[in-house]
Amino acid sequence: MGEQQHVKFPQEVIDEYAALGVDLPALFSAGHLGNRMGVQILEASAERVVGTMPVEGNTQPYGLLHGGASAVLAETLGSIGSMLHGGVSKIAVGVDLNCTHHRGARSGLVTGVATPVHRGRSTATYEIVITDEQDKRVCTARLTCMLREITAKDAGDLPEAGRA
């Protein structure tokens, strides 16, 4: 759970970050919380982000997938899409997350797919649909991120793994 895997990025995005000395595939992960929850990113671009998360280990006392776990998956995927839309000069910061839980999941993997609703200069909004292994919708979420200019302090916080 939480091990690094190869994420499928568009080559032009990899090249854009490499020009700034950032090894995007080495840097990229679901973050500490996402890693603890077993989130795996399978595909990432500004147009579509796909990731999975196991139900096991992410349940509430009744044995169902915890709504907060769905929120973590949704915010992770939407934030990645927003970050890729913003490009190398901006940071995506979540400012609004709305989740509607449709049905419970007790086992297996859930898959989230984030697609853009709005991609502007200062904000990006993504819809995230989370389904179970039978392709039944478990949760629908919407995330809006503020896109702010990167600062020298932000660049200094970059983990060693992503520095070229």
Q: Is 149 a catalytic residue?
A: no
Do the beta carbons of residue 45 and residue 13 sit within 8 Å? yes
Phi, psi of 44 (to 5 degrees): -145, 120
Please pick, among 3, 75, 127, 133, the residue that the annotation labels catalytic.
Answer: 75
Q: Counting Cβ atoms within 10 Å, is residue 47 exposed (0-12), middle (13-18) or buried (19+)?
A: middle
Give me 69's structure tokens. Answer: 């776990």
Q: Could you tell me which residues are beta bridge partners of residue 111? A: 52, 131
Q: How far is Cα 69 from Cα 90, in angstroms, rounded to an integer?
A: 27
Show which residues are catalytic.
75
